[in-house]
């Protein structure tokens, strides 16, 4: 039985609800079902009873979960001790990012941390899925997130960085590029692209735009696809300022909206290294004093 199966069993035993457990684990419900079924097949007995009334632990399952919880805590402690030992020797900080522009001031922070800890290595790891699962599996030490992508638990520590505003992105030869700011009224007869990664955050804006019959709102699977559409057509896009890579290829115009998204870093609560806390502190100070549009 692997650690993912252990986490699945322990979380489901706590919630007794497949939907809640899968959300807490940041996996799909079918994946959770598969992990539980696979564990039960390997063990040779049922851990959970599934009835119309919900999920219940079997007698065998109740006893097993008590033992499993103890084993998992011991295993986690052993992994953490080894991770801290490895990090103390290699002095490596792995930081998970959805893209380079998410932390546009990261190079400045790396330069500053090297003056304090010359032998430390900062390794950015880019993940299309925001890197949450990798972080929870301890594949990264620090993770950049926005909105409410991960719940506050005893296992993580959250550090606020900045709040990002909504921007309209268009080609520089677009007539909208002449404006200092843009509102929904400026977008008549235009096609607006909104990335699926911001579906929840842009819900109210999407609803306000659909009130205009002349505005066509479209979805995009990711920001790279969005930029290709903008550069190859008359489409424009709405996104958050932290997606701006500052290369001046497009015009980024503030969009009139009350919406802003909190951006932050998370670490494992068990990571007590001074270098981790110092690095995060440097990033926080850089963003507090920066005039980079966000």
Whole-number pLDDT of residue 119: 85
- CA–CA distance, 154 with 152 (Å, rounded to integer): 7
Question: What beta strand segments (E) does 40-155 contain?
Answer: 48-51, 54-57, 92-97, 121-126, 142-146
Over residues 45-71, the pLDDT tens digits come to: 999 998 877 889 998 888 888 888 888
Inter-CA distances, 170 with 22, 48, 174, Å: 38, 53, 6
Domain ranges of the chain: 3-84, 91-161+263-289, 164-260
Which class would CATH give 3-84? mainly alpha
**Domain pair 3-84 / 164-260, same fold:** no
DSSP 72: H
Over residues 193-226, the pLDDT tens digits come to: 988 888 888 888 888 887 787 888 888 888 888 8
- CA–CA distance, 21 with 31 (Å, rounded to integer): 11
Q: Is the whole-model pTM more than 0.75?
A: no
- The residues near 16 (Cβ < 8 Å, ≥ 6 apart) are 54, 55, 56, 57
| Residue 152 near residue 158 (C-beta atoms within 8 A) | yes
Q: Bridge partners of 57?
A: 48
> Of residues 24 and 148, which shows the higher confidence score?
24
Inter-CA distances, 31 with 1, 19, 47, 68, 133, Å: 15, 11, 17, 20, 13
- CATH, domain range 164-260: 3.40.190.10
Among the CATH numbers 3.60.40.10, 3.90.870.30, 3.40.190.10, 3.40.50.150, which is that of 91-161+263-289? 3.40.190.10
């Amino acid at each position: 039985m692997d650690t993912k199966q252990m986490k699945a069993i322990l979380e489901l035993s706590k919630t007794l609800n497949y939907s809640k457990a899968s959300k807490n684990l940041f996996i799909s419900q079918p994946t959770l079902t598969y992990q539980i079924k696979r564990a039960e097949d390997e063990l040779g007995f049922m851990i959970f009873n599934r009835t119309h009334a919900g999920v219940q632990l079997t007698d065998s399952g109740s006893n097993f979960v008590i033992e499993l919880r103890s084993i998992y805590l011991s295993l986690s402690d052993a992994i953490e001790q080894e991770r801290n030992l490895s990090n103390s020797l290699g002095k490596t900080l792995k930081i998970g990012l959805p893209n380079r522009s998410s932390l546009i001031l990261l190079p400045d922070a790396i330069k500053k941390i090297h003056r304090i800890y010359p032998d430390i290595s900062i390794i950015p790891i880019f993940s299309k899925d925001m890197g949450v699962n990798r972080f929870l599996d301890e594949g990264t030490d620090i993770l950049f997130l926005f909105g409410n992508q991960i719940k506050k638990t005893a296992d993580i520590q959250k550090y606020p960085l900045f709040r990002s505003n909504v921007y309209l992105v268009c080609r520089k030869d677009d007539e909208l590029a002449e404006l200092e700011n843009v509102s929904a009224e400026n977008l008549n007869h235009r096609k607006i692209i909104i990335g699926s990664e911001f579906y929840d955050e842009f819900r109210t804006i999407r609803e306000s735009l659909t009130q205009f019959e002349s505005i066509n709102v479209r979805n995009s699977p990711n920001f790279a696809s969005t930029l290709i559409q903008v550069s190859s057509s008359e489409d424009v896009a709405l996104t958050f300022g932290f997606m701006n890579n500052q290369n001046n290829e497009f015009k980024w115009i503030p969009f009139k909206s009350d919406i802003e998204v909190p951006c932050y870093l998370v670490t494992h609560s068990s990571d007590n290294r001074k270098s981790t806390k110092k690095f995060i502190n440097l990033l926080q100070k850089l963003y507090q004093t920066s005039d980079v549009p966000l």
